[in-house]
Amino acid sequence: MWPATPDRGGALHGVKVVDLTRVLAGPLCTQILSDHGADVIKVEPPAGDDTRRLGPPFDSRGEAAYFGALNRGKRGLSLDLGQPLGREVLARLLEDADVLVENFLPGTMERWGLGYEEVLSRQYPRLVYCAVTGFGADGPLGQLPGYDAVLQAMCGLMSVNGEASQGPTRMGVPVVDHLTGYVALSGILMALNGRHRTGRGQRVEATLFDTAISLLLPHAANWMASGTAPALLGSAHPNIAPYDKFTAADGQVFIGIVNDAQFRRFCSHIAREDIAADARFATNAQRVAHRAELRAWIEPVLHKLPAAALCEDLMRLGVPAGQVNTVPQALGQAHAQHRQLVVERGAYKGIRSPALLHGTPATPGDGPPLFAQHSADILRGLGFTEEEIKTLKSTGAAPPAN
């Protein structure tokens, strides 16, 4: 269990983040900022973040588990930014903010009179402004909404994922959204570092489209060099063999051999030195050219071997191999527990942010806020009187907690 502590500290202690994002990429980015000590104020629209309702499953408070995975450690506030009073609250939030992150459709902030170039950069010159969008603000697809699976399809990712017999397949995790969150995070941290030198913030842009295209490794490079469009290979690798999923005696395993020495050790371990001695399999290039024949030689041997022992033995020999685990099996691994990958805060459970800083370690905060949970405290901290807070709530400019 990740140790709870009242003093979270962290590398980003003292950094204030105004989080206007919903769903996945933006909230993931700001959750990592929070884990590392930033004060993140999650500002939701009156209808709330969509992921609050993306269930089942729901937690004991009635919130979707999906929402909980992305919003721990944040303070919750709701604002109707379509109202002048809502925008007045946002203006006060930004007076001492270091970072603003939003993932509205391009042009939304401008329609509210909150465009970065025209307004925010002048009023708050030290502000780092991060926009997370599907396609950016201009170009043939500019200002259109973006969704992970749609970008997987449009940007060629589905075309290289799946079995030839079944056709292109969506990846089982929202990999484009996920990586876009890290792109936004990286951009924000670089901009904060740049501010130390220049004294000024800047606009950071992270788009699902750019991120999805960047994932085409090595497939784009292969096509550029060969002129041949990548094909579906199932779990296999286009440039390496054997680098694939196989069936063992009691489960499936993945074996990833990337050099000739590993291949010879593998063949020796399964008592098939004759395979390594065959000229068709002497080098990786030859193994790729004869991948079907190689698989036909390997599979019957692996069918007789227990998966766990096979993988452990191969790994000890320096041959990469792993069982194909379910999600519970993955989280139940002794090494996952050793790495303290599960965050627990009372009834809340989540996955910790993967970066470990040993000098200024992260300490994930409490579970995610209920809708507008901290509104009153935040508004008071901004200097609003009790009467003004009542007005903000009654007009819907700052809706109260449910």
List, by residue number, the catalytic residues. 177
Query: What is 363-396 written as a DSSP string?
Result: ---SSPPPTTTTHHHHHHHTT--HHHHHHHHHHT
Q: What is d(CA 326, CA 321) in angstroms, rounded to the nearest whole number? A: 16
Q: Would you say 18 and 94 are in contact if contact means Cβ atoms under 8 Å apart?
A: yes
Cβ-proximal residues to 277 (8 Å cutoff; 6+ apart), any chain: none
**Cα dihedral across residues 115, 116, 122, 125: positive or negative:** positive
Bond prior to 218 in cis (omega within 30° of 0): yes
Task: Say which residue the tokens 């499953």 belong to.
Answer: 57
Checking DSSP bridges between strand 128-133 and strand 243-247, what pairing results, if any? unpaired
243 phi/psi in degrees, rounded to 5: -140, 85
Please name the residue that has the structure tokens 């009187």: 385
| CA–CA distance, 16 with 37 (Å, rounded to integer) | 9
Whose structure tokens read 């800083």?
357
Query: Tokens 């589905």 — which residue?
Result: 158
Return d(Cα 235, Cα 160) in angstroms, integer.
10
Please give the structure tokens belonging to residue 232.
């579906």
**Rounded Cα–Cα distance for residues 60 and 368 (Å):** 12
State the CB neighbour count (10 A cutoff) for residue 84. Answer: 12
